[in-house]
């Protein structure tokens, strides 16, 4: 890699956000569109939200199922935000099926690798690029019943740091944002399932999530998006290879 690259970013930036119709993805689309960027996003099922994002923010949605044959969204991108992710297992490690293990590794770690490989050549050629991976507090620690999820997020964290080392001299940075439980449609669905299984109220489950955060509340999607917005900017050119918790201090 050539040394000392510090090119100015393209204006406007072309952003690719995966998982764009999730609560966190929506916040990313809104934040980057508000900042005057050109935004594309990948989604799988939620056509209603995709159409709303296209109408409200002028973003371009691309429907791709990353569990199937890999496809690269068309275009040249200055910023890639790997926001798509799944957590489908709460079993003890000895009971985790190979199918679940492989699916979670694919969506949470392999797809970010493949997308990174797709966008890196253009970033290197232009001498400027930002790769932002959305990890989790389970990128930084482990817990029982989380083997596939924690393993996939640790893999993403290692990938982040390796890319940062390899491409810093080309003007490309790679960082990771690690939120704790985010106030979202997903966390509400998880709380509903856990409440039903345990015979308790949904609010009690949500209170348990809140209590894990020293701030006593869930993280908002907008808080995570604001960190991504910073990392994507020219002012973060020397912020590279870091895992930034957004968790109220729970991993301290």
Report the distance separating Cα 239 and Cα 175, nearest Å: 8
Class of the CATH domain delimited by 14-182+220-246 = alpha beta
| Band of pLDDT at residue 251, cut at 50, 70 and 90 | confident
What share of the chain in percent tops pLDDT 90? 75
Report the distance separating Cα 250 and Cα 212, nearest Å: 7
Please give the C-alpha separations between residue 156 and each of 64, 110, 184, 202, 242, in angstroms, as whole numbers.
21, 8, 22, 31, 12
pLDDT tens digit string along 132-187?
999 999 898 888 888 999 999 999 999 999 999 999 999 999 999 999 888 888 88
Q: What is the three-class DSSP state of 17?
A: strand
b or e along 198-214 (b: 16 or more beta carbons within 10 Å of the residue's beta carbon)? Answer: eeeebeebbeebbeebe
* Of 112, 130, 132, nearest in space to 171 by CA: 130
Count of CB atoms within 10 A of residue 43's CB?
22
Whether residue 160 contacts residue 38, with contact meaning beta carbons closer than 8 Å, is answered with: no
Cα angle, residue 56 at apex, residues 54 and 59 outer, rounded to 5°:
35
Whether residue 76 contacts residue 122, with contact meaning beta carbons closer than 8 Å, is answered with: yes
The number of angstroms, rounded, from the C-alpha of 117 to the middle of its chain's C-alpha atoms is: 16
The number of helix segments (H) and strand segments (E) in the chain equals 8, 7
Residue 241 phi, psi (nearest 5): 75, 20
pLDDT tens digit string along 191-206?
898 899 899 999 999 9
Its pTM stands at 0.92
Q: Where are the domains of the chain?
A: 14-182+220-246, 183-218
């Amino acid at each position: 890699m050539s040394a000392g690259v510090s090119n100015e970013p393209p204006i406007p930036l072309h952003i690719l956000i995966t998982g764009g119709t999730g609560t966190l993805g929506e916040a990313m689309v809104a934040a980057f569109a508000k900042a005057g960027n050109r935004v594309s996003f990948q989604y799988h099922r939620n056509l209603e939200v995709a159409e709303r994002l296209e109408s409200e923010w002028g973003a371009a949605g691309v429907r791709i199922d990353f569990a199937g044959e890999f496809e690269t969204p068309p275009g040249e991108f200055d910023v890639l935000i790997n926001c798509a992710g799944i957590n489908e297992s709460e079993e003890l490690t000895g009971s985790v099926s190979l199918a679940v293990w492989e699916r979670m590794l694919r969506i949470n770690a392999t797809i970010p690798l493949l997308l990174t490989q797709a966008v890196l050549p253009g970033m290197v050629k232009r001498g400027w690029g930002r790769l932002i991976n959305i990890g989790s507090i389970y990128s930084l620690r482990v817990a029982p019943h989380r083997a596939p999820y924690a393993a996939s997020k640790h893999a993403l964290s290692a990938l982040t740091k390796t890319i940062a080392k390899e491409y810093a001299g080309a003007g490309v940075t790679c960082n990771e944002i690690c939120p704790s439980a985010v106030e979202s449609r997903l966390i509400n669905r998880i709380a509903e399932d856990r409440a039903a299984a345990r015979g308790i109220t949904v609010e009690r489950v949500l209170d348990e999530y809140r209590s894990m955060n020293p701030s006593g509340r869930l993280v908002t999607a907008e808080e995570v998006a604001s960190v991504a917005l910073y990392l994507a900017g020219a002012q973060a050119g020397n912020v590279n290879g870091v895992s930034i918790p957004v968790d109220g201090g729970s991993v301290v």
